[in-house]
Structure 1
C-alpha cells in the first residue's frame, strides 16, 4: 500500500472527476416505513455511470495521468471492468479487461457495450487477476487494480464526500465490502465522524475474517454476491480502514440479500444487484440493530442485475 487516503486525497480526486461522474441522488425513507424508529437515507450509487460506484475510481485513475499508448488493463468481477471500460471509452484510451467465468451476463453485456477487449478466464476473480498480471507484463499497459490502488480508492471515497453534503445528519453508514476499495474510500472520508458498518455475505467474508484474525486471510468465495464481492483476500486499504474506522463488521445470508433486492424493487422501483443490496440487507434482517432514532445511511452500490429477476 503506497500512502494513506486522506480527505485531501479524496477532494483532489473529486476535482478531477466531477465533470465525468454523476452526483447520484439520495432517497429518504421515513422512520417506520422499513424499520421501526429508524429513518434511512439511501444513496443510489447504482445510478452511477456503468451501473456502480466504480466509475469514480476508474475516472480518477485515468485522469491522474501516466497512461501509456497501450492503454489500461484490469481484472474484475464485472463492475470494475465495466467502469474502467466506460471511462476509457469516454477518454479515448484503450482498455483490456479480464473477468472470471462467474461474471453475470448483465455485466458482460456492459463490457461489450463499452468496446473494451474482454478476456473471460478463471473460476473466480483471483484467477482472472493472475491472467491479467501476466498480460500486463507483455503489453506494458497501466494496471488498474479493482480495489487496492490509491487512485482507485480515493475515487471511491468521493461517494462519501457527496453523501455527507447531501445527508449531513446521518449517524451511521452501512457499506458492502468486497475487496475493500469502497469502504476504504468512505471510511477515509468520514474518519470516525460517524459509525461505519461493514456488511458482507457469509460467502464473501474477507474483511470479517481478517479483522477476527488480525491480518488479511484468504477465504473461499461463494454465494449470490460472489461476482461483485468475490475477492478472496481483503485489500490493504480496506483492511486499514477496517482496523481504524469501522465500528462493526456483520454478515448476512444470501436470503437476506435477495429480500433486500426485492424490497428495493417492490417499494421504490430501484434495481440493485446482490452486492448492491447487501448493505441494506443487514438493516432489514436485523443483523445490524441501530439505536432508537438513529439516522442510518445506506450505500446502494451497484445495479448491474438482469431484469429477469424482478
Structure 2
C-alpha cells in the first residue's frame, strides 16, 4: 500500500526560479556555459533528431560543479573547511569548488567508490576518508565529522543551493534551444532534474531517466515519500539508492514522468557516443540518451528532445 503524506512530515524546502537566477549571477565566470549539439542518433525505428547538452564538458567533468560552487558561495564565508559525502562526482565537484575558493575539503566515500573518481578528488587537493559500504553510512560520518571540525557540511544532492546551481543548466537551455522541447536527464539523487524543474517549471516537459536496478524516484512517487531501494548491479553504474526530498517534491508537483532503462541499454548508448562522436561519458551520463535509443522514450513527430549528457568521469579502458 502506498505511504500517504503525513502532516508531521516536514515539507522539503522550495527551490524557485528566482533561486536559480541568483545562482547564475553567483556563477558568472566560474562555470562553463556548455554547448548544445543538434544531431540525430540511432533509435529503434531509425534516426531520431536530438539536441545534446554537452554538460560533460563542465569543469571536473560533471554538472555537479555548478551546485557545489553555488552552495559554497552562498554559505557563511567564515567557514574555511567543507565536508561532503560522495560516491564520486559530488566529491570531485566540491573538491574543485573548494580549491577555487581557497577552502580545504574532506570527502567521505564508501568503500565501493571508484578509484578513478577518488583520484580526481585527490587531484583537486581533497582529503579522502573511506567509511562504510554505502552512501548512507558515509553521509552519517560526514555530518558527524563536519560538526566535530566546525566545518561547512554540503549534501551531495539534497540541498537548495546545490539544486539551484544545477538549475542554471535550464536557464542556458532557454537561450540555446528555440521552442519548448522536452528535456531528458538522468535522475541519480535528483539534483539535476530538480534544478531543471525549478528553472523551467512547466515551461518545458522534463523527463527523468533512471537505471532499472535503482528506481529511486519511481519508488518515491509510488510510496508518497523518498524511500530506500536496493541496488543490485555489478556494473560501474553507481546511482543513489534514495532520491532527495527536494527532487521528490518537485517531481511530484510537476507530475514529472520517470522512465526506467536497462544497464545494457545505458552501456550501449555510451559505446554509441564513443563510436559515432568520439565522446566519452560515464554510464550515468549516457542514461538519458539510452531512453531514446532503446525506445523507452519516443518523441512525438516533429519534436527534437534535449538530452543532457551530464558526466564524463570514467575509466577510458572500458570503451
Q: TM-score, normalised by structure 1?
A: 0.94
- Name which of 80, 92, 99 aligns with 1:89: 99
Match of 1:34 in 2: 42
Deviations 1:190-215 (A, max 9, x none): 11112111110012211011111222
- Does 2:24 align with 1:14? yes
Cα deviation for residue 245 of structure 1 reads: 2.0
1:45 alignment partner in structure 2: 55
Note if contact 2:90-2:156 (Cα within 8 Å) is conserved in structure 1.
yes
One of 218, 234, 248 as aligned partner of 2:228:
218
Query: Residues 273 and 122 from structure 1, CA distance in 2 versus in 1: closer, same or farther, beyond 3 angstroms?
Result: same
Residue deviations 1:288-309 (CA, integer Å, cap 9, x gap): 1221221100110110011001
Which of 235, 244, 249 lines up with 1:240 in the alignment?
249
Distance, in Å, in 1 between the alignment partners of 2:177 and 2:98 is 31
Structure 2 Cα separation of the partners of residues 51 and 100 of structure 1: 21
Residue 273 of structure 1 is matched in structure 2 by 282
The alpha-carbon distance between structure 1 residues 170 and 225, as it changes in their structure 2 partners (threshold 3 A), is farther
1:183 is aligned to: 193
| Aligned pairs for 1:139-150 within 5 A | 139-150=149-160
Mapped to 2, the partners of 1:67 and 1:96 lie a distance apart of 17
Deviation at 1:169, TM superposition (A): 2.8
Moved over 4 A (4+): none
- The question of 1:306 aligning with 2:295 is answered no
Whether the 8 Å CA contact 2:170–2:196 is kept in 1: the answer is yes
How far is 1:68 from its partner? 3.7
Alpha-carbon separation, structure 2, partners of 1:20 and 1:285: 36
- Aligned partners of 1:4 and 1:125: how far apart in 2? 24
3-state SS of paired residue (2:106):
strand
| Residue matched to 2:7 | none
TM-score, normalised with respect to structure 2:
0.92
**3-state SS of paired residue (1:251):** strand
CA drift of 1:244 comes to 1.8
> How many equivalent residue pairs?
306
Structure 1: gaps (5+ residues): none
Q: How does 1:117-132 map to 2 (within 5 A)?
A: 117-132=127-142
- The separation in 2 between residues aligned to 1:262 and 1:194, in whole angstroms, is 29
Kept in 2: contact 1:37–1:293 (CA 8 A)? no
C-alpha change, 1:195 and 1:47, in structure 2 (3 Å) is: same
Alpha-carbon separation, structure 1, partners of 2:130 and 2:59: 23
Unaligned segments of structure 2, at least 5 residues: 1-10
Deviations 1:56-107 (A, max 9, x none): 0011011113044451110011100100000111110011111112211221
